[in-house]
């Protein structure tokens, strides 16, 4: 059954975030701040390792060779322009605040928890590659591993950022579910190289999320989200024109 991996992932986030909310009052504010810094550092390293894994390729001579550098720049710039034009970051924040108003009695910084957790769980290479693999082959090993990691982090996020983290499960369901369905539709034309390119961009955006969590800068990761899908678009458009021609 295609989509099992996403369903398991959603359940893990709900369970983890619920556990974190129960623990919230038992964790001192100073400890929550330190925990969030630790998570921020971990997220930066996860993004960095994922990006470097796709950016460098071991040659036959045993040397590391860079690849996709121009495409990386093109996708980040182009994706940022698209995201800024559609004000994705602003719309995400407004969505979080609207939901926060409806559930204001739950307390906590709902919008920040919803947006941060949604981006962390959705932007990552594991989310993209796992959902695509589910749709392309029906295998869910990547999403199972992601579910474990997300469930654990949801406990900490839930305790530190509040109930918004719980509702990020909806974002994961819609995002990964859509990717899985789309993968099933385009699996005959998607190459492994495109998967690597999408994973590279995803890793870079994860680093941006980590920077935001560490509060050393404000990167509008939401506006950069379209960059993940530009490698796929750049591969499909020439093929469509070839078919039409």
Question: How confident is the chain (245 residues) per 10-residue block, as mean pLDDT?
Answer: 88 93 75 78 84 87 89 95 92 75 62 83 76 81 85 85 89 92 77 85 85 86 89 81 65
DSSP 138: -
Output the pTM of the full model.
0.76
CA terminus-to-terminus distance, the chain: 37
Q: Which two tokens stand for residue 66?
A: 């860079």
Number of residues that make up the chain: 245
Q: Which two tokens stand for residue 73?
A: 């720049």
pLDDT of residue 25: 66
Q: How far is CA 245 from the centre of its chain?
A: 36
pLDDT of residue 29: 73
């Amino acid at each position: 059954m295609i989509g099992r991996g996403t369903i398991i992932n959603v359940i893990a986030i709900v369970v983890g975030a619920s556990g974190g909310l129960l623990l919230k009052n038992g964790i001192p504010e100073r400890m929550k701040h330190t925990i969030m810094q630790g998570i921020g550092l971990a997220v930066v390293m996860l993004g960095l390792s994922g990006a470097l894994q796709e950016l460098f390729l071991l040659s036959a001579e045993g040397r590391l060779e860079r690849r996709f550098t121009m495409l990386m720049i093109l996708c980040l710039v182009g994706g940022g322009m698209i995201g800024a034009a559609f004000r994705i970051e602003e719309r995400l924040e407004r969505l979080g605040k609207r939901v926060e108003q409806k559930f204001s009695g739950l307390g906590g910084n709902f919008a920040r928890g919803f947006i941060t957790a949604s981006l962390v769980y959705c932007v990552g290479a594991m989310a993209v590659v796992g959902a695509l693999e589910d749709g392309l082959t029906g295998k869910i090993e990547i999403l199972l591993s992601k579910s474990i990691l997300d469930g654990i982090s949801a406990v900490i996020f839930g305790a530190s950022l509040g109930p918004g983290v719980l509702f990020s499960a909806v974002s994961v369901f819609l995002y990964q579910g859509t990717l899985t369905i789309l993968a099933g539709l385009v699996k005959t034309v998607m190459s492994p190289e495109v998967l690597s390119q999408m994973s590279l961009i995803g890793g870079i955006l994860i680093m941006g999320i980590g920077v935001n969590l560490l509060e050393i800068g404000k990167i509008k990761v939401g506006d950069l989200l379209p960059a993940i899908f530009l490698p796929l678009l750049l591969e499909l458009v020439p093929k469509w024109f070839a078919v039409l021609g």
